[in-house]
Chains A and B, each alone.
Chain A
Amino acid sequence: MAETTVTNDLARPQRSRTSEVLRLLRYNRLAMTGVVIIALLIFFTLFGPALSRYDPLAIDMSARLQPPSLEHLFGTDDFGRDVLSRVLSGAAISLKVGLIAVGISLTIGTAAGAISGYYGSLLDEVIMRFMDILFAFPAILLAIAILAALGPGVGNAMIAIGIVYTPIFARITRGSVLTVREQVYIDAARAAGCRDRRIMARHILPNVAAPIIVETTLSLAFAILAEAALSFLGLGTQPPDPSWGRMLSESRAYILDAPWLGIFPGLAIMFTVMGFNFLGDGLRDALDPRLKQVLEPGRRE
């Protein structure tokens, strides 16, 4: 009898979920573009001040409103400050505000959503109705109203943006927890004597992490946009600190004579937000198991 060799998929070594997700991400060109943009942002945040020739706050009235040149790649502003240095410093402020604001909303929103979804009943109603109330406000108006109470400033802007995005995390977490809490392994954990806190931390949250990770990435994009908007309105980062939104606001008075003052900070915001959006979309595709069959080219053979 002729021997036949059967190729058995089960003989292929099983990949961990993380390496599987990373593999799927690598095949997504847009997601990789996003990764590159974010890597550049982090690089400029860490090394920008060391790399730039000029102090972003140094005033030089003899060099005011100079167009882009070899001396000043992005030109100078109305105080003679180097625009490239200020754009690079603005990256640090944007990233810091984005991370802290999203950190606030992620922490509070995930906790509220997990508690709401796990315990249900009256607690769920109260928490979710409160989130509905926050959702009823247009985001920027709610942030403005909060800053009316707290006062302008980068710290208060982080709090305002954090509060505005909390309901999104609460809703996403609650939705996922509602599904996971009905799983058999949760019942098994309870039967084994695990306390609720341990069940939530060790069994529920790791299994609802996927949509939260996607939302975190996408929220970073919107938080950076929101910080720029609030700084543009004079409610976020205060002068002379070089926030991109603040730079755009200051550029308006000189927009015809010195358009570079508005072009470069705007491009910086656009590419940064695009980077986080690309990565967030890519993570969503990679973490959605329904799309695995479509996205994984190795299966086409």
Chain B
Amino acid sequence: MTRFLIRRLLATLLVMLGVSFVVFMIIHLVPGDPVRVMLGLQADQAKVEEIRQLMGFDRPLLVQYVDWLWSALHGDLGQSFITGQSVSEAVIQRLPATLSLAMAALLIALVIALPAGIISAVFPRSLWDYSAMIFSQVGVSIPDFWMGIMFILVFSLALGWLPPSGYTSPSEDFWGWLSHLILPAMTVGLISASIMTRFVRSAMLETLHEDFVRTARAKGLVERVTLLRHVLPNAAIPIVTIVGLQMASLLGGVVIVEIIFAWPGLGRLALDAVIRRDYPMVQGAVLLVALSFAVINLVVDLLYAYLDPRVKY
């Protein structure tokens, strides 16, 4: 187990290094001069050269990358080209909003997907099963931005039940924060639920067809006890994996929903930075989300190896 842990940690570190390199190189492939972007197209050439030397843009790319990486490891992701604000500060400020949206969406997804998937597997080819499958197929096909717009139309503009957009800090106004959170969380959560329902159903069906379940039934165990004591604990292993992977993908998947609902998260920060060509901010936001993604995937892998003794390491 220790060897497996060390191997996975090393692999994740390599991936994180690779991610940081790709993020750095993508931005530096942008045509045009980043200093001119900062100072404006009409800036004096001498001033542009001075700033370029000051910021180190005249050095080889690899040297710039190592320097940037070293600073990033110390928590310094540079400064915004547009506002001059520290990128680390801006990114840390936005992280709680993205995390709260992702967690709320995951909760909604679990509340729907777990019972739907389990009932669907336990009663195959029933109305429940067909409904769950239709929900799953339709949900996966609906664009999240369209669902968000329809929710705003129905619940905010037509019925007036919930605010259409915006954000309130939970420390300032908890109920205000919650009312603003519901629609974006439902938008992301329902789509995530449709994906997870399929996996929960599949995990349950596979476990229901295992020999030990047949043995339990043959021994005379009532169905309820068979399900609770034998099927669910074993089906939980792949389900936990899927939940973990969904959490990781939710971090990046909330980008568009943050735009629609004016939710001040990392995704919106990244997009605003792209539009304004604020490259350090793009780097910082994308890097943080990608690294969180890698860390969550690592935790899921380790959890899976821990929960399932059949996994050989």
Q: Which residues of A contact B (CB under 8 A)?
A: 30, 129-130, 132-134, 136-142, 144-149, 151, 221, 225, 228-229, 232-235, 245, 248-249, 251-252, 255-256, 259, 262-263, 265-266, 269-271, 273-274, 277-278
Residue among A139, A147, A256 with max Cβ neighbours from chain B (10 Å): A256
Residue among B23, B27, B145 with max Cβ neighbours from chain A (10 Å): B145
Contact for A141 among B29, B140, B290, B294, CB less than 8 A: B290
Contact for B15 among A132, A228, A248, CB less than 8 A: A132
| Contact indicator A266/B253 (Cβ below 8 Å) | no
Q: List 9 A-B contacts (CB under 8 A).
A: A30-B137, A138-B290, A149-B29, A149-B30, A256-B153, A256-B157, A266-B146, A273-B140, A274-B137
Contact for A137 among B260, B267, B279, B293, CB less than 8 A: B293
Told that A144-B271, A256-B157 touch, could you supply 12 new A-B pairs with CB distance under 8 A? A30-B137, A138-B253, A141-B290, A146-B26, A148-B282, A228-B143, A245-B145, A248-B146, A251-B149, A252-B149, A256-B158, A274-B137
Interface residues of B in 106-143 (CB under 8 A from A): 137-138, 140-143
Interface membership of chain B positions 21-33, coded 1 if the CB is closer than 8 angstroms to chain A and 0 otherwise: 1110011011100
Q: Collect the chain B residues with CB atoms within 8 Å of residue A133's CB.
A: 15, 18-19, 21-22
| Chain B, interface residues (CB within 8 Å), range | 35 or more
Interface residues of B in 271-308 (CB under 8 A from A): 271, 273-275, 277, 279, 282, 286, 289-290, 293-294, 297
| Contact indicator A140/B14 (Cβ below 8 Å) | no
| Contact indicator A141/B267 (Cβ below 8 Å) | yes
| Contact indicator A140/B255 (Cβ below 8 Å) | yes
Separation in Å of the A293 CB from the closest CB of chain B?
A: 15
| Contact indicator B274/A137 (Cβ below 8 Å) | no
Q: B235 in the interface, Cβ–Cβ < 8 Å?
A: no
| Contact indicator B146/A235 (Cβ below 8 Å) | no
Bound together, the chains give a CA A270 to CA B152 distance in angstroms of 18
Q: Collect the chain B residues with CB atoms within 8 Å of residue A136's CB.
A: 15-16, 18-19, 290, 293-294, 297
Separation in Å of the A111 CB from the closest CB of chain B?
A: 20
Bound together, the chains give a CA A269 to CA B138 distance in angstroms of 11
Contact for A148 among B15, B22, B152, B274, CB less than 8 A: B274
Q: Collect the chain A residues with CB atoms within 8 Å of residue B248's CB.
A: 138
Interface of A, secondary structure class, is helix
- Nearest 7 CB-CB pairings of A with B: A138-B252, A266-B146, A133-B18, A274-B141, A273-B141, A148-B274, A256-B157
Bound together, the chains give a CA A264 to CA B15 distance in angstroms of 42
Q: Collect the chain B residues with CB atoms within 8 Å of residue A144's CB.
A: 255, 270-271, 274, 286
Bound together, the chains give a CA A271 to CA B140 distance in angstroms of 11
Interface residues of B in 91-106 (CB under 8 A from A): none
| Contact indicator B256/A140 (Cβ below 8 Å) | yes
Bound together, the chains give a CA A147 to CA B31 distance in angstroms of 12
* Contacts known (A141-B286, A144-B274, A147-B274); A255 close to B153, Cβ less than 8 A: yes
Nearest B residue (CB) for A259: B153
Q: Collect the chain B residues with CB atoms within 8 Å of residue A142's CB.
A: 286
Q: Collect the chain B residues with CB atoms within 8 Å of residue A229's CB.
A: 143, 145, 256
Q: Collect the chain B residues with CB atoms within 8 Å of residue A270's CB.
A: 138, 141-143, 146
| Contact indicator A266/B256 (Cβ below 8 Å) | no
Q: Collect the chain A residues with CB atoms within 8 Å of residue B149's CB.
A: 248, 251-252, 255, 262, 266
Nearest A residue (CB) for B145: A232
Separation in Å of the B46 CB from the closest CB of chain A?
A: 28
Residue among A130, A148, A234 with max Cβ neighbours from chain B (10 Å): A148
* Contacts known (A232-B145, A262-B146); A255 close to B293, Cβ less than 8 A: no
Separation in Å of the B7 CB from the closest CB of chain A?
A: 13
Bound together, the chains give a CA A148 to CA B277 distance in angstroms of 7
Residue among B15, B30, B146, B150 with max Cβ neighbours from chain A (10 Å): B146
Separation in Å of the A273 CB from the closest CB of chain B?
A: 4
